[in-house]
C-alpha cells in the first residue's frame, strides 16, 4: 500500500562529495637497512592562481528545471545556480557555520531594541556596489528583495512570499491588506532598516533574520515600478499590488527563466540547455568578493545532470569533475572504492536536515493512535537507520540534523 509515514524516525544522513584530484602515491617505510637520503629537489605544488582560470564540471542527480528564483519551487540544483549568481548580502556565513556581517558589502550597521519588543537593524551599504552589467546596487535593491518576495502577487501566482516573514507588518502586507511594509524602511540611497517582529526576538541566530541581498526589481516587474517610503514604511509605486497582479504575471514568469539575467554573485549564468539539463556559468568580473574579499578563481563552472546509475562512472572517466550530495549508502561506498583506487578525494559532511517516516493520520488504519503506537513499538529505529543509510546515518529524537 502506498502510505506516507512520519514522526517515528529522524535520520541525519551523511552526504559525500567525490572530486577528481591528483593521484598520491603512498609513502614506503623500510624498517631495516641504512638510511637513504634523497638529494632530488622536492617539487612544489601548483601555485594558487591570481586570476580566474580553468573549468569545473559539477554533476548532480537532481536535474535542473530552469526556474531560477527559489520562490516557486524547491529544486536543490536550481537553488545551487541561484546561489552562484546571488551575493553581496548584508550577512554571510563562515565555513564553520557562524553568521557574521558582510564587511565587503556593509559600511555600517546599528541595532536598537524597541519598547514593543521588536528590534530594528539599520544597514548602510558601501558605495560602488554593482551588478554584473555595471548597473548600481543601492539601498532600494535590498528593500526590493523584501517587498517583491513577500508580495501578495507571488501568492496569486502560486509562489512562496515568505522573504519578510519575520518583519513587523508582514502579515498585512503579504495578504494584500496594506501596500506599505512598516518593518522595512528606505532611509536614503545607501541606508535601509529592517524591524524584526517581537515574536522572533530574541533569537540565537538573530543575524540570519536580517540577512538580505539585492534584487534588481525592474528586471521582474518593469521600469514603471519604483520603491518609495513616506515615513511609515517602504512600498512599490506604479500599481504593483494584489489587485493588479495579472498585469505583471507574464513579465514575472518570463523573468523567472530569462537569460541573461542580473547577477550580484560570484558567477553569471551564461547559458542553459534544457535538453541536456546543463547550465554554464562564467565569473562575474564586478563581484567584490565574499566577507573576506575572496573572489572566484575558477573561470567556468558547468553544472549538469547525471544519472544515479552512471554518476561514478562519469567521474572516473572524466565526464564530470565533482559529484555533489551523494546521499545513499551504495553511492558513498562506491565512491570510497573509487578513492581507494587512487586519483580521487572525498569530503564527508553531515546533512543539514533529517529524514523521517510520516503517518497519514486522517484516514486508513493509521488514523488510529493504537495502530501508530504499534508500528512505533515494532520498529527497531537503529536497524532501520542502518538499513536505510547503509551505515552512514544516526538516529535523532527531534526535527534537527547535526
Query: 195-204: per-residue pLDDT in tens?
Result: 999 999 999 9
Question: Could you say which residues of the chain have pLDDT below 70?
Answer: 1-46, 352-353, 400-402
Looking at residue 46, what is its pLDDT? 67
d(CA 392, CA 13): 6
Looking at residue 230, what is its pLDDT? 98
Beta strand extents in 209-251 (DSSP E only): 227-229, 234-236
Looking at residue 174, what is its pLDDT? 97
d(CA 294, CA 102): 12
Looking at residue 402, what is its pLDDT? 62
Q: For residue 73, how far is the Cα from the chain centroid?
A: 13
Looking at residue 44, what is its pLDDT? 61
d(CA 320, CA 282): 17
Is the full-model pTM beyond 0.85? no
Looking at residue 355, what is its pLDDT? 75
In terms of Cβ atoms closer than 10 Å to its own Cβ (0-12, 13-18, 19+), residue 401 is: middle
d(CA 392, CA 162): 34
d(CA 69, CA 78): 8
Angle at 236 between CA 173 and CA 210, to 5 degrees: 60
Going along the chain from its start, the domains and CATH numbers come out as 102-256 (3.90.76.10), 350-401 (no CATH)
Burial 358-375 (b: 16+ CB within 10 A, else e): ebeeeeeebeeeeebeee
Amino acid at each position: 500500500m502506498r502510505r506516507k509515514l512520519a514522526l517515528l524516525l529522524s535520520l541525519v544522513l551523511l552526504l559525500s562529495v567525490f572530486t577528481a584530484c591528483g593521484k598520491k602515491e603512498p609513502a614506503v617505510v623500510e624498517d631495516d637497512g641504512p638510511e637513504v637520503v634523497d638529494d632530488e629537489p622536492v617539487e612544489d605544488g601548483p601555485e594558487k592562481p591570481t586570476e580566474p582560470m580553468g573549468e569545473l564540471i559539477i554533476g548532480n542527480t537532481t536535474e535542473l528545471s530552469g526556474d531560477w528564483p527559489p520562490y516557486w519551487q524547491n529544486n536543490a540544483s536550481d537553488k545551487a545556480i541561484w546561489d552562484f549568481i546571488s551575493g553581496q548580502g548584508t550577512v554571510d556565513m563562515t565555513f564553520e557555520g557562524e553568521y557574521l556581517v558582510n564587511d565587503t558589502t556593509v559600511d555600517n550597521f546599528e541595532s536598537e531594541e524597541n519598547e514593543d519588543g521588536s528590534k530594528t537593524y539599520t544597514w548602510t551599504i558601501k558605495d560602488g556596489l554593482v551588478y554584473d552589467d555595471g548597473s548600481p546596487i543601492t539601498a532600494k535593491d535590498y528593500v526590493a528583495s523584501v517587498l517583491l518576495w513577500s508580495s501578495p502577487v507571488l501568492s496569486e501566482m502560486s509562489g512562496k512570499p515568505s522573504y519578510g516573514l519575520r518583519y513587523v507588518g508582514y502579515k498585512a502586507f503579504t495578504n494584500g491588506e496594506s501596500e506599505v511594509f512598516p518593518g522595512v524602511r528606505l532611509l536614503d540611497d545607501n541606508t535601509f532598516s529592517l524591524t524584526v517582529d517581537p515574536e522572533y526576538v530574541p533569537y540565537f541566530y538573530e543575524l540570519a533574520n536580517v540577512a538580505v541581498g539585492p534584487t534588481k526589481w525592474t528586471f521582474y516587474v518593469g521600469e514603471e515600478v519604483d520603491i518609495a517610503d513616506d515615513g511609515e514604511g517602504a512600498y512599490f509605486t506604479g500599481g504593483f499590488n494584489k489587485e493588479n497582479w495579472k498585469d505583471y504575471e507574464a513579465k514575472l514568469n518570463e523573468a523567472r527563466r530569462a537569460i541573461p539575467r542580473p547577477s550580484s554573485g560570484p558567477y553569471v549564468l551564461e547559458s542553459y540547455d534544457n535538453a541536456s539539463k546543463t547550465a554554464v556559468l562564467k565569473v562575474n568580473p564586478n563581484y567584490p568578493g565574499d566577507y573576506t574579499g575572496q573572489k572566484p578563481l575558477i573561470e567556468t563552472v558547468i553544472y549538469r545532470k547525471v544519472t544515479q546509475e552512471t554518476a561514478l562512472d562519469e567521474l572516473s572517466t572524466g565526464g564530470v569533475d565533482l559529484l555533489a550530495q551523494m546521499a545513499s549508502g551504495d553511492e558513498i561506498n562506491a565512491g570510497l572504492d573509487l578513492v581507494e583506487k587512487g586519483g580521487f578525494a572525498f569530503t564527508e559532511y553531515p546533512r543539514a536536515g533529517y529524514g523521517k517516516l510520516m503517518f497519514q493520520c486522517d484516514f486508513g488504519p493509521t488514523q488510529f493512535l493504537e495502530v501508530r503506537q504499534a508500528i512505533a513499538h515494532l520498529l527497531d529505529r537503529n536497524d532501520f537507520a542502518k538499513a536505510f543509510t547503509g551505515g552512514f546515518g544516526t538516529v535523532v529524537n527531534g526535527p534537527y540534523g547535526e
